Structures are given as C-alpha cells and as structure tokens.
C-alpha cells in the first residue's frame, strides 16, 4: 500500500451532541494549505509530529500537547520528519460554545479568543480524548454531551484567568428551588438543560450561571451526581447493576460504571461486593 493511500480523514458527529464535530485523521504525505474554520477547534496529536503555522509562528505539536484554533484563524498543517501523523480534532459551534464560556467566566465576552495555539494542559488533553471517545461511540445523553462541552469552557476560562468559581447560597432563589425539585421528580427521565430552563422560564445560559452560583455545581453535574447517588442506594438494596442501569436511563452497565467510578473510585459491582462483605 502506498503512503498516499494511508491518508485518512473521518468526520463524526453524535445525534445528541449538537454543535460538535469530530475529525479523526491519519496523514503521511498530505499537507493542508492555508485555511480557516468557522468553528472553535481544539485537538491533540496521538502519534507523530504535527507541524503547522499560525499567527506568524511555525509550531510543532507532539503527543500530549493541545492544539487550539479560534474561529477564522488562518493556519496550515502537515506531518513532520516523515512520520505518520495521527490526531483528533474537535470543532465547536461558537453559538453553542461561547455562551457556555460566558457561564463559566467572570464576565460576558462573546469575542473570546485564546492567545495560545499550542500548549500542554493535561486536563484539557484528557477532555479531548474523552470527548472524542464519546462522540465516536455515541452512547451518551444530550445532558452528558453538554456537560463535556461545559468542562472545556470551564478549563479554558481558568487558563485565561476569567473563571468564576462555583458558589453556594443558603438562601436559594425560588425558581431555582423549583428547578431542583423538577430534577428530583424526573431523575429517571432523559432531561436536558433546555427542559429545565423552560420549566423556570429562563434562558438556558442564564439558568446555568444562576444554578451554579447557588448550588455549587452546574445543573449538568448536579443531575449526574444526584443520579449516581440514587444508583448507589439501589445497589445497597441488592438490585443488580444491569437492572439499575436500565432504571436510571444509562445505555448499559459500562455507561453507568464510567460515571460511578468517577464518584466512588470502584465499579458498581465492586461496590456491591464490598458492602455485602
């Protein structure tokens, strides 16, 4: 097989992940000409070296680094040193991403532009890997995809020194209390942030900002956290992980396990065995 035949470009999207596109690419002898995207792009090389120019700089990205392009930022790209380049790039619709950035930041800034095109950030790198995996598998709810996207916005606002920490207030707004009650009453349903904001007659992004300022978590994470706590209680009652996963709307046990381990460090089956002695 010739080197030219090894070039491969695969674009993927998930039905429940609006405003996000994934590119999985393998390059051997292909070079991008100068071009720009309308989307906010963030990705990472997996193997080889990605060489590109942007904003008057000639840059080289190695595995473990993060590449970022603002909308309409002109760049090119090619594999370096005759090595096969494999990388993943996520493209975020600015109309979806920038409002989330506003929710995480201390100020509204729809003109947000990162000054960094290449850097090392283990947290963002792990987000790129995780989001790419989830878009490829398409086994998540719309709420989870929104949560992944919010985490990107949160981390980028931290890098820019714009992050507004989550807060907790003893005295809650009555509309937000109503939203919390709606979550608890409908936790077994596939709900979205659009559903919640409509329930309390707020714009989606205003709702996210207010919710996290009063409950200490964005609504996406609050819902996932509450659901996993209920999963734990069901496991303690002796229900099988398979039945519990189905009851709480997970695609399968592995889907539930991924979230459970992030909260408790062990799988549902391991937890159940431990408490049974």
Predicted confidence (pLDDT) per residue in 17-69, tens digit? 778 999 999 999 999 999 999 999 999 999 999 999 999 999 999 999 999 99
Tally of domains in the chain:
2
Residues 22 and 92 in one domain: yes
Q: Are residues 146 and 213 in the same domain?
A: no
**% of the chain residues with pLDDT over 70:** 96
Residue 34 corresponds to which tokens in the numbers above?
């100068």
Same domain, 208 and 248: yes
Beta strands in 40-154 (DSSP E): 40-47, 50-54, 57-61, 66-69, 75-79, 85-92, 118-119
132 and 217 within one domain: no
Which residue range is the domain that position 94 belongs to? 8-160
263 & 152 share domain: no
Let me know how long the chain is. Answer: 277
- Asked if residue 167 is part of any domain, the answer here is no
What's the CATH code of the domain at 185? 1.10.10.60
Identify whether residues 141 and 263 lie together within a single domain: no
Tell me the pLDDT tens digit for each residue of 134-147.
Answer: 899 887 888 888 88
Do 21 and 132 share a domain, yes or no?
A: yes
Per-residue pLDDT reduced to its tens digit, 66-120: 999 999 999 999 999 999 999 999 999 999 899 888 888 876 555 688 999 999 9
Q: How far apart are CA 91 and CA 71, in angstroms?
A: 10
Residue carrying the six token digits 């596109």: 21
Contact assessment for residue 42 and residue 67, using Cβ atoms and an 8 Å cutoff: yes
Residues 6+ apart with CB under 8 A from 49: 60, 61, 62, 79, 80, 81, 83, 85
Identify whether residues 93 and 189 lie together within a single domain: no
152 shares its domain with 196: no
Rounded Cα–Cα distance for residues 206 and 200 (Å): 11
Cβ proximity of 241 and 253 under 8 Å: yes
Residues 144 and 207 in one domain: no
pTM of the model: 0.83
């Amino acid at each position: 097989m010739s080197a030219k035949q090894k070039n491969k470009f695969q674009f993927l999207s998930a039905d429940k992940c609006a405003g996000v596109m994934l590119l999985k690419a393998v390059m051997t002898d292909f070079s991008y000409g100068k071009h720009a995207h309308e989307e906010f792009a963030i990705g990472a090389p997996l193997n080889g070296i990605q060489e590109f120019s942007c904003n008057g700089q000639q840059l080289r990205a190695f595995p473990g680094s993060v590449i970022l392009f603002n909308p309409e930022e002109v760049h090119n790209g090619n594999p370096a040193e005759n090595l096969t380049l494999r990388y993943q790039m996520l493209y975020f619709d600015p109309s979806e991403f920038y409002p989330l950035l506003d929710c995480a930041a201390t100020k509204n800034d729809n003109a947000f532009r990162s000054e960094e095109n290449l850097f090392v950030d283990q947290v963002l790198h792990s987000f790129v890997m995780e989001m790419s995996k989830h878009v490829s598998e398409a086994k998540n709810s719309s709420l989870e995809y929104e949560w992944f996207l919010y985490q990107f916005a949160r981390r980028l606002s931290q890098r820019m020194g714009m992050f507004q920490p989550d807060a907790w207030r003893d005295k809650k707004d009555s509309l937000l209390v109503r939203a919390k009650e709606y979550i608890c009453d409908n936790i077994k349903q596939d709900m979205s942030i659009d559903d919640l904001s409509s329930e309390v007659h707020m714009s989606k992004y205003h709702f996210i900002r207010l919710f996290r300022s009063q409950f200490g978590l964005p609504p996406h994470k609050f819902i996932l956290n509450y659901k996993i706590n209920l999963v734990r209680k069901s496991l303690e009652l002796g229900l099988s992980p398979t039945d519990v996963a189905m009851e709480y709307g997970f695609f399968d046990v592995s889907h539930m396990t991924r979230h459970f381990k992030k909260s408790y460090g062990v799988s549902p089956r391991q937890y159940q065995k431990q408490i049974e002695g």
